[in-house]
């Protein structure tokens, strides 16, 4: 299940079909979902308590991946890095307890 849509990515990045194709976005979504599932150790469904956090993290990963495939400039590199870091901070806030994912309470 995709935690983000192609349309969401277009809206969040402002990237047009000239800059990044629908096929590229589809692959980015697959890669982002696989990254999140691997990092958290599970697949997610809308009924999961932390699903909205997972969606946000997946959006951040996907945005970073989208910027990674654009022609590289310092600005693009920095944007990609910021989104990757945001995703990891959010995902690292989830830990496995008793075989289930739970948010870490600060």
The answer to whether position 50 is within a domain reads yes
Instruction: Tell me what pLDDT residue 98 has.
Output: 44
Tally Cβ neighbours within 10 Å of residue 5: 13
Distance CA 9, CA 11 (A): 5
The answer to whether position 86 is within a domain reads yes
pLDDT per residue as tens digits for the range 48-87: 989 999 999 999 999 999 999 999 899 999 999 999 999 9
Strand (E) or helix (H) holding 55: helix 51-68
Half-sphere exposure of 4 (CA within 13 A, CB side): 29
Instruction: Tell me what pLDDT residue 1 has.
Output: 65
Instruction: Tell me what pLDDT residue 70 has.
Output: 92
Answer yes or no: is pLDDT of 102 > 60: no
The answer to whether position 1 is within a domain reads no
Query: What is the extent of the structural domain holding 41?
Result: 6-103
Distance of CA 35 to the CA centre of its chain: 8
The answer to whether position 44 is within a domain reads yes
Structure-model confidence comparison of residues 28 and 89, the more confident one: 28
Answer yes or no: is pLDDT of 42 > 90: no
């Amino acid at each position: 299940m995709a935690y983000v849509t192609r349309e969401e990515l277009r809206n969040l990045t402002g990237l047009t079909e000239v800059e990044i194709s629908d096929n590229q976005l589809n692959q980015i979504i697959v890669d982002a979902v696989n990254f999140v599932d691997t990092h958290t150790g599970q697949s997610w469904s809308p009924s999961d308590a932390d699903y909205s956090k997972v969606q946000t993290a997946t959006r951040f990963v996907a945005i970073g991946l989208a910027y990674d495939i654009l022609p590289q400039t310092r600005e693009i590199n920095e944007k990609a890095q910021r989104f990757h870091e945001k995703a990891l901070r959010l995902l690292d806030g989830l830990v496995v307890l008793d075989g289930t994912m739970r948010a870490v309470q600060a």
